[in-house]
Homo-oligomer: A and B are copies of this chain.
Amino acid sequence: MSELAAALGIVGPRWALLIVEQLLDGPQRYGDLQRDLGMGTNMLATRLRELEAAGVLYRLPLRHNTRAYALTDRGLALRETIVALRGWGAGST
């Protein structure tokens, strides 16, 4: 399996990269992610679980029953990829 295929196995599923993009601005709570991205809550929960298992992000406990999601170093390392893709998408006109 190529390295590109391995990467896509993690950030390939729909919404995965968009979640990471949101978290590049800093840790966010579940509800904020959902509202900002406009995605269904079931998909968000699934993706967060997968990305956490893959070591891309982790849960950061806040007060009472709330928590935030933050990128690990491995997650932050996706910034270059996201910038490149964003630049490519901007050039479609």
Say what secondary structure dominates the interface of chain A.
helix
Q: Which residue in B8, B80, B90, B92 is a CB contact (below 8 Å) of A17?
A: B8
Interface residues of A in 15-38 (CB under 8 A from B): 17-18, 21
Q: Residue of B at shortest CB range from A78?
A: B88
Q: A91 contacts the other chain (Cβ, under 8 Å)?
A: yes
In the complex, what residues of B have CB within 8 A of residue A10's CB? 89, 92
* 8 other A-B residue contacts (CB within 8 Å) besides A4-B89, A7-B85: A7-B88, A7-B89, A8-B17, A8-B89, A10-B92, A77-B91, A80-B88, A81-B85
Q: Using a CB–CB distance below 8 Å, which chain A residues touch chain B?
A: 2-8, 10-12, 14, 17-18, 21, 74, 77-78, 80-82, 84-92
